[in-house]
Structure 1
Amino acid sequence: MNSKLEFDSEFCNVRYIENENVVFLTWKKFAHLNNYRTPTLFVLDLLKQFPHSNFVVDARNGFEDDKEDVDWGFSELLPNMSKTDCEYVIFIMPETENLEDEMDMWTKEFGKYFAVVKVNSYEQAISKIHNRIIVNVKYAIKPGKRDEFLEKVIENGIMEASRAEPGNYKYEYYKPVDSEDILFLMEMWVSNKAQATHGKTEHYRRLQSLKKEYVINVTIEKYSASTIE
């Protein structure tokens, strides 16, 4: 059955789930060209139609890896999805090495625009949407060096690279109005694993080098939070 809220074919099913405000795509088998593009464009239309809806993909039966469609997805589909107010893209998938390799290119590309999570079930997907890891960092900077430190962070691509990590939801620096030598960083991650992975990246190591040069002291607060709808 195909309607304004649901698309169904032998290859996949797409439907809008109102109580969760989720666009849910289930792949039934490999699809190519119009069999792949028509339902994913239907996903795009639903994301546009329903404000703040999120995208959940059941990829347990595989996922698109045809080069022609992948190129179309990267150059056409995802940039247009990024213009919606979707925040999360969540993949339901088994932990198998073959599918992990196939999915990595997609999660990395989606991660340029959205917070990306891999889970084992739809229930886990919904839980992830409503729970985030928050890290608040307070930097005490050497006197008169705060702006220079922040400029170096930007020049080294640390903010851009951190925001592009698939598991990142937010990465923002803030200057308090009552101090010239304090800098705050607020991070939001989709899971503890995503935040831990961040600590193993090359851009994180670049940040540590800058901190040795510019920072006197660091205070970190980390906690989990549920979103309020």
Structure 2
Amino acid sequence: MTALPLKSASALVLSALILTGVQGVSASDHEHDHDHTHSAHDHDHDHDQDIYSGYFDDEQVEDRALSDWEGDWQSIYPYLQDGTLDEVFAHKAENGDKTAEEYKAYYDTGYQTDVERIVIDGSNITFFANGEEMSGDYQYDGYEILNYEVGNRGVRFIFELEGEGTNDLPQYIQFSDHSIYPTDADHYHLYWGDDREALLEEVTNWPTYYFSELSGEEIVEEMLAH
């Protein structure tokens, strides 16, 4: 793909995808139909599993700092495209309600993004897309608890671009990693755009990131282990 000018790339990459399926979609699909690893926390396993699955009380939720997601992260969408994740979809099909091909199509919509890498350092977030870099500082803007149609819930931790900003960067980013209190993330789903409330309704496209140091095979191993 030809690299786009920074402003054009951001308009396509950091805004267009969030508009898909914003209205009238159940939030249960994305948040609770993944094979994921757990973040460590000094609670018993069953308690952590309940929270990870979306069953918790409001008072259990705590504010989180951007440092929970600090690091160098890669999109896993290329591994779906090149077939690396096919083993994961086949495994899901053994116990799920979709075929491996149907799971792959579902996750193709979910993982889709041109932002192939994200680096988070302190308050600074750098997006890498189509050979371009877009960087800005973000400040914490609280969290939102989402109630899903199937009965469980999720939490989005929200950060807002500092200063007047630029058209090249999203005004808001929202993290979802199945944790509800401070802990280092081992992967996450990210939502971005300029409309804070509309982002909370986005449930069909959730670009997903794992540490850049991991190979595709290592990511598959982590997914299959849970």
Structure number with greater Rg is 1
Same fold (TM over 0.5): no
TM-score range, shorter chain: under 0.3
Determine which structure has the larger helix proportion and give its number: 1
TM-score of the superposed pair, with normalisation by structure 1: 0.22
Structure ranking higher on relative contact order (CA contacts 8 Å, 6+ apart): 2
